Each structure stands twice: as structure tokens, then as C-alpha cells.
């Protein structure tokens, strides 16, 4: 733990006094302070001027990052018969119906994305209290309730990222790995911020994007200038 503490202290000193940076500057700084022995994830958090408790202020969306996330995404699909075969052929990790529902009810949640055909939603609906809080509930607005399970699975595997405002009005996501080239991380960050901007709800008032922070898994956060070129 002592080595981790020294590493973080050095990283913290490196970012001290550096605030409201451009996306390019923030990415370069986060990469330079990502010194763990594993390939750290680069995370982004955006504080929005919304109250998600009101339906007209909910922020939810999906974006395909141009350079992927660098993460292996495990996908579960609720489907039957031909659509189940289609999901398996597309690379889904888990495919099922009632059996998958029971597995999830028993605490097996070894997946990052859940997709369902429309006819499966009466079954999936029973899992709302389990999948909902984990942002895993299939939703037609983000393309995870669909008959085109092949495209949905391929998108999830190819770097598609879902986002949803939490209670405090914050959206966050992994936008790549510290090993990515700076230019690719910059593209991913701007693509994510552009999608969040487009998802601005009708009920949002005042400043929409209030604070943007970028960090690596083990590193300190740096802030991005919300008034700069962020998308």
C-alpha cells in the first residue's frame, strides 16, 4: 500500500493547480499520471444541472465510441428460438428466457449489458428491482429492446456506451484505456460529451453541463473547461 500511496501522491502533485483544461490537455495529464501496473480505465464524470427525479429532466442515452472502450463487454440476451440462435451467433455470452431470469434472481449477474426481444419484456419486467439500479434494464430508447439482436450485440461488443443520470445528476462512463493514443482518447471523450449534450432534456434549466472530470482508475481527477471545445 505504501507504493500505491507514493504513486498517488506524486500524481496528485502533478495535477495540483491545473483546472478547467481543454480535452486534449486533460487527456495528456491523465495519461501521464496513470502509472499503475495494469492498464487503467479512463473514466469521465459529468455533473449536470438536472434533477432526474423529474421525468422531464432525466438524461439517458447511448453512444458508440469511435475507438471502443478497450473493455471486454459481456452481453446477456433474453430471446427464444431463432432470435436466441441469432444472439449466440453474434457473440452473446449468455442467452436464455425463464432460465436466465431465474439465474439472475439467484444473484448471477456476470454481464455488462442486457438485451431483450420485445416479447421477452414480461419476463424481464420481473427483474426491474435487480437490473434497474445497476443500469442493466433493457430499454427501447437505447436500443436494448429490439428484434435486431444481432446488431445490438455487435454494438455492445464494439464499444457502445450507455449513460444515465444518477440521483445527483451525474453521468459517468469509461471512455477508453490509459494505453490508448492521446488522439483516440480525445475522440472518445468528445464523442461522449457530444452525446450527453444531445441528450439535454426539455426540463433542464440554467447551465446544463456544470462540471466535467476525467481520471484514470488509480489516479486523481482533472477538470475540463465546460465552456471550451468539448464536442
pLDDT digits (tens, 9 = 90+) for 31-57: 999 999 999 999 999 999 999 999 999
> Residues with Cβ < 8 Å from 36, sequence gap 6 or more?
7, 216, 217, 218
Using one digit for the tens of pLDDT, what is the confidence trace for 51-77? 999 999 999 999 999 999 999 999 999
Question: To which residue does cell 445527483 refer?
Answer: 168
Residues of the chain with pLDDT under 50: 1-2
Please tell me whether the overall predicted TM-score, pTM, comes out greater than 0.85 for this model: no
Cα–Cα separations (whole angstroms), residue 73 to 113, 155, 186, 206: 7, 10, 21, 36
CA-nearest of 197, 208, 182 to 231 is 197
Tell me the C-alpha distance between 160 and 156, whole Å: 5
Helices and strands (DSSP H and E) totals, the chain: 8, 9
Tell me the C-alpha distance between 44 and 46, whole Å: 7
What are the structural domains, with CATH classification, of the chain?
18-69+161-224 (3.30.190.20), 75-157 (3.40.50.790)
Amino acid at each position: 500500500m505504501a507504493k500505491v500511496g507514493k504513486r498517488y501522491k506524486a500524481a496528485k502533485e502533478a495535477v495540483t493547480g491545473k483546472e478547467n483544461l481543454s480535452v486534449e490537455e486533460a487527456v495528456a495529464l491523465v495519461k501521464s499520471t496513470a502509472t499503475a501496473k495494469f492498464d487503467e480505465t479512463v473514466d469521465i464524470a459529468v455533473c449536470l444541472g438536472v434533477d432526474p427525479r423529474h421525468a422531464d429532466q432525466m438524461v439517458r442515452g447511448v453512444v458508440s465510441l469511435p475507438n471502443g472502450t478497450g473493455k471486454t463487454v459481456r452481453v446477456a440476451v433474453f430471446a427464444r428460438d431463432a432470435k436466441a440462435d441469432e444472439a449466440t451467433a453474434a457473440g452473446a455470452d449468455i442467452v436464455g428466457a425463464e432460465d436466465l431470469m431465474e439465474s439472475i434472481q439467484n444473484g448471477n449477474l456476470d454481464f455488462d449489458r442486457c438485451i431483450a426481444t420485445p416479447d421477452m419484456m414480461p419476463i424481464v419486467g420481473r427483474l426491474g428491482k435487480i437490473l434497474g439500479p445497476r443500469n442493466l434494464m433493457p430499454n427501447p430508447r437505447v436500443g436494448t429492446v429490439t428484434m435486431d439482436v444481432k446488431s445490438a450485440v455487435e454494438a455492445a461488443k464494439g464499444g457502445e456506451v450507455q449513460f444515465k443520470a444518477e440521483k445527483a445528476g451525474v453521468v459517468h462512463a469509461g471512455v477508453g484505456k490509459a494505453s490508448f493514443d492521446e488522439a483516440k482518447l480525445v475522440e472518445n471523450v468528445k464523442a461522449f460529451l457530444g452525446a450527453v449534450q444531445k441528450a439535454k432534456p426539455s426540463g433542464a434549466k440554467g447551465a446544463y453541463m456544470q462540471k466535467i472530470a476525467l481520471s484514470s482508475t488509480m489516479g486523481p481527477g482533472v477538470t475540463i473547461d465546460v465552456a471550451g471545445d468539448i464536442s
